[in-house]
Amino acid sequence: MRDTKTNDFLSSCNTPGANVDIPSVKRATQTTRDDTLLPLTSAQSAAWFAQRMNPHTPDCIARYVDIHTAHGDDAINAEALSIEALRAAITQASLECALSTVRITERNGWPYQQLDSQHLHIHQVDLREEPDPVAAAHDWMCLHRSTPVDTNREALFSTALLIVADNRTLWYFRAHRVIADPAGVVVYQRRTAAIYSALVAERSIPTFRGLTIAHTVEHDRRYSSTDRFGSDHAFWAEQLSGVRAPISFAGKTAPASVATIRSTATLSPSTLEAVNAVAQYAGATVGSAVTAAFIAYFTRITGSTDPTITFPVTARTTMALRHSPGVLANLVPLRPSITESSTVADTLRQTRRCVADAVRHQQYRVDDIVRELGVIGPQATHFGPTVNVAFGDPTLSFGSTTAVINALTDGLVYDLTVNIHFDAHDALIIEFEANPALYGEAEVASHHQRFMTFLHAFATVDPDTTLNRVPGVRPQFQVIQ
């Protein structure tokens, strides 16, 4: 029923006299033009070609930032939000990070990017009169982020301020993956908050020190002629020698989906303490330990003797790149040498090594890896379920107000993605996000619940316990291959 209500709501907002402005994806307005054409980075090219192959499935990153300011006697924050300053900050950061200024054009069938000076329209949507303003905002964002984008003709970035209460505004934005990746989005969000804070404090805005898009493109171009490219190629050729076709819990494949089924839970304090302890024992990070536990669970459920998963990396190998916009993100495989007879300690060590190697060789493009493996088809850029470890700070400071970042999507989901991150209260969140063409809601919830149980057992048993003796996976639910 909610989808029907959302469509009715959006329809009413587009009628004459409506008091809100609903954004549509439309051609960017150009005021001045730079005719210099820049190549796309390898990651941008992959996103562009993939979108051309599936034009009705938008591959975008979408976020909203929950800005909840002072209200009532028990308010923590003492500063009201300045919509004017926020709009100015969004506009400037969007220009500096080349989100509102990049458009894609074709020459002889090949894509290039061009920087235009454009007017960014920040849509302002007042939802305070809705019966449930926050639910209406989520419906609005869900519908907007799922709208197809023509990468050659339409704006690749859009943003809105959704007012859900007198003291609460959700800053929403969507960027196509041909102009932004998750690391670049982090740079943009933090730059916006820094500009806003300077404006409301009447201070000078700090200089933006991120690299330009041209610098990022040049960095990407140079990589293929470096010694690192050769060593990365040799590493992945050896690492993936004899690798089998990817497997999944579903046992089948389907086209990538923008719509997903999610199941989310917070790790209990006792389990988080146990995960921290076992990570320290293995000389690993918490993220690596949870990844190891998932690979162990995946091995138990599927019975695989050669488990492989997909691991997103930033492919940003310098401090300058990590503080710059642009599109460089990559996907690499993790292939630890474990079976059900491996111990918990072995699994932790193998996963720690695989993660370290993946980061060390993260620039070698997934497209090159799969081409050399001879893999084709809709799942060609994935190696199994995805484990996405995103341990960045989930908060932003807008003056004296602490706002919370919420990820709506990092792009398309091919099979199953495990999102691992901390919330604003330092609790560890584990979310299963699945392709609805492959999994039903009950199946996703069941896998998620069983993994949470298995994770606690994995972190608390004797490290010399073999995986087939770790409790938490009931045999009657195991997939028979």
> Do both 197 and 239 map to the same domain?
no
Together in a domain, 253 and 198: no
The predicted pLDDT at position 27 comes to 33
Contact predicate 413/435, CB 8 Å: yes
> Is a pLDDT exceeding 50 seen at residue 28?
no
As a whole number of angstroms, the longest Cα–Cα distance in the chain is 69
Question: How is residue 257 annotated by DSSP?
Answer: B
| φ/ψ (deg, to 5) at 31 | -110, -45
Residue 250 DSSP symbol: S
Mean pLDDT, rounded, for 206-228: 95
- In this structure, the answer to whether residues 460 and 335 fall within a common structural domain is yes
Both 117 and 199 in a single domain? yes
Tell whether pTM > 0.75: yes
Residue 402 is assigned to a structural domain of this protein: no
Please name the residue that has the structure tokens 């070698």: 364
Segment 422-450, tens digit of pLDDT: 999 999 999 999 999 999 999 999 999 99
How confident is the model over 56-106, as pLDDT tens digits? 999 999 999 999 986 554 444 457 999 999 999 999 999 999 999 999 999
| Domain boundary pick from 175, 208, 241 | 208
What does the pLDDT read at residue 481?
Answer: 40
Residue 406 lies in a domain: no
Could you tell me the CATH number of the domain that includes residue 357? 3.30.559.30
CA–CA separation, 403 vs 171, rounded Å? 10
Q: Give residue 34's pLDDT.
A: 55
CA 221, 224, 229, 234 dihedral sign is positive
Judged against a pLDDT cut of 70, whether residue 16 lies above it is answered with no
Domain shared by 94 and 121, yes or no: yes
User: For residue 411, is pLDDT > 60?
Assistant: yes
The whole-number pLDDT of residue 21 equals 37
- 296 with 183, same domain: the answer is no
Among 177, 208, 239, the domain boundary falls at 208
Contact at 8 Å (CB) between 254 and 438?
Answer: yes
217 part of a folded domain: no
| 332: amino acid identity, one letter | V
Can you tell me the distance from the alpha carbon of 427 to that of 310, in angstroms, rounded to the nearest whole number?
25
Write down the pLDDT at residue 153.
86
Average pLDDT taken over every residue of the chain: 89
When divided into structural domains, the chain yields a total of: 2
pLDDT digits (tens, 9 = 90+) for 267-286: 999 999 999 999 999 999 99
User: Is residue 404 domain-resident?
Assistant: no
Residue with tokens 């190629």: 233
* Domain of residue 124, CATH code: 3.30.559.10
Number of helices (H) and strands (E), helices first, in the chain?
Answer: 13, 15
Its domain, for residue 85, covers: 2-208
Residues 270 and 155 in one domain: no
For 336-366, letters b (16+ CB in 10 Å) and e give bebbeebbbbbbbbbbbebbebbeebbbbbb
CB 213 within 8 A of CB 351: no
| Token representation of residue 85 | 């300053």
Q: Choose one of 147, 179, 208: the last residue of a domain.
A: 208
Report, as an integer, the average pLDDT of 43-49: 95
Q: Which of 32-46, 186-200, 324-338, 467-481 has the lowest mean pLDDT?
A: 467-481
Residue 166 per-residue DSSP state: T
pLDDT at 20 over 60: no
Q: Among 3-7, 88-92, 380-384, which stretch is predicted with the lowest mean pLDDT?
A: 3-7
